[in-house]
Amino acid sequence: MRHPRLRELTLLIATAVVFAIGYIQLGNDIALPFLGFLTSFAAMHVGVRAWAPRADPLLLPLVALLFAIGSMQLASIDSLQTEVSSNWRALAPLQTGWLAFSTAAFLAVLYLFRNGLGPAWRTRYTLALLGIVALVAPLLPGIGYQVRGARLWLRFGPLSFQPGEAAKVLIVLFLAAYLSERRELLGLATRRIGPLLLPEPRYLAPLLGVIGLSLLVFVRQNDLGSSLLFFLTFMAMLWIGSGKAYYPVLGVLLFAAGVYIALQTFGHVEARFESWLNPWGDPAESGYQILQGQYALAEGGIAGMGLAGADAQPHLIPFGWTDLILAAIGHTLGLGGVIAVVMAFVLFLTRTFYIALRSNADLHALAASGFGIVLGVQAALIAGGVLRVLPLTGVTLPFVSYGGSSLLSNFVILASLIAISNSESTTEAPVELEEVSA
């Protein structure tokens, strides 16, 4: 078991056994997702063997476990929704189709970065431009359209997707490349603004320009959850890259000011905060989703109501397949299922930051940290919303919630992390990355 790929294969088989238990309970409702799961993760395992043989052995099995739990939950919702709505589109088979596309993207990115993130370094400003274009695209007339008050989607005929998911990958890669080049200059304070010592404005300008425009676009699209995700990621990466603690302190102050302005300016933000603080104030409308999620968690108890059966009713949770899928898991699999999901994320993020800490190249360390922050913040936002620790933000639970755009971008992140861990398992960093560090 010393060989990392053998450990990875053993854990993937154990995850397949967990999925098979769900297959036994749900029967034909999950036959196609189960076969798609086996095929896709077998292909990814073969790709890792070929192009990243020394990569971390836990990342792929942990993602497989998260996807398996999410797919079983979607199949459970499908089996109940079709009983009450003949127009319901089965989500588990659709998610399996997106898994096939995600597998192809995973293998392509893994091959591209098989020798490290040198291609991202060479095209860092192009990545920033593509990220901004992806953010702006839903605002274009004709192809962009609005769903539930947020204009985040593009539609081409029968196909629709959310380009902002791709933007988070592109912008993290840009930030990692730029910070690896300028980290010493960003840590050198030469200008004083009141009590703050800041670096030269020309070094901060590209960062502030990209992130500022990203936040403005998200505000224009009425998607403040993604704005918060980008803002926290930017501040954390800037702190890690520069080593200066005043960046997150300044970020907290700016965030507090932004929240106050948003509450005074945007009616939907104020309504979301009111429903978070007092969902009983309007239990039939704005507070309905939160209350249904709370009831689902309470009814699930320790062991849950099961994936199938008369007592399992996760389909009654509004958007229980996206925003509140963790509440749906709590209903069917109980507290044990919720803890399993949370611990899988904790282990995944632990491995991600371990990869960053042992990286010899600044580019690899910053990229791994950035991807870990993106996924960690996203998971924390949705978990906090479900437990009413935070207001609901509308972001999805990575690898678990239904959503093709989110799944595709998250598997690109996974491939990048595996490629980084493989590169950093060698005794010497690639030549390109040695030059970047220098």
Residue with more model confidence, 142 or 290: 290
**Contact between residue 367 and residue 373 where contact means Cβ atoms under 8 Å apart:** no
Q: How far is CA 108 from CA 37, 102, 112, 114, 366, in A?
A: 19, 10, 6, 10, 22
Residue 435: how many CB atoms within 10 A of its CB? Answer: 12
Task: DSSP for 10-55, please give it.
Answer: HHHHHHHHHHHHHHHHHGGGGHHHHHHHHHHHHHHHHHHHHH-TTS
φ, ψ of residue 196 in degrees (nearest 5): -100, 140
Residue with more model confidence, 225 or 319: 319
**Amino acid 154: pLDDT:** 74
Residue with more model confidence, 217 or 122: 122
Question: What b/e readout covers 19-55, taking b as 16+ CB neighbours within 10 angstroms?
Answer: beebbebbeebbeebbebbeebbeebbebbeebbeeb
**Amino acid 428: pLDDT:** 42
Out of 11-20, 218-227, 233-242, the most confident range is: 11-20
What's the pTM value of the predicted model, to 2 decimals?
0.89
**Amino acid 79: pLDDT:** 80
- Residues 300-309 have pLDDT tens digits of 899 888 887 6
- pLDDT at residue 1 is higher than 60: no
**Amino acid 312: pLDDT:** 63
- Residues 315-367 have pLDDT tens digits of 678 888 888 899 999 999 999 999 999 999 999 999 999 999 999 889 999 99
- Residues 125-179 have pLDDT tens digits of 899 889 888 877 777 776 766 666 666 667 766 667 788 788 889 989 988 998 8
Task: DSSP for 276-310, please give it.
Answer: HH-GGGSTTTTTHHHHHHHHHHHHHTTT-S-SSST
**Amino acid 431: pLDDT:** 40
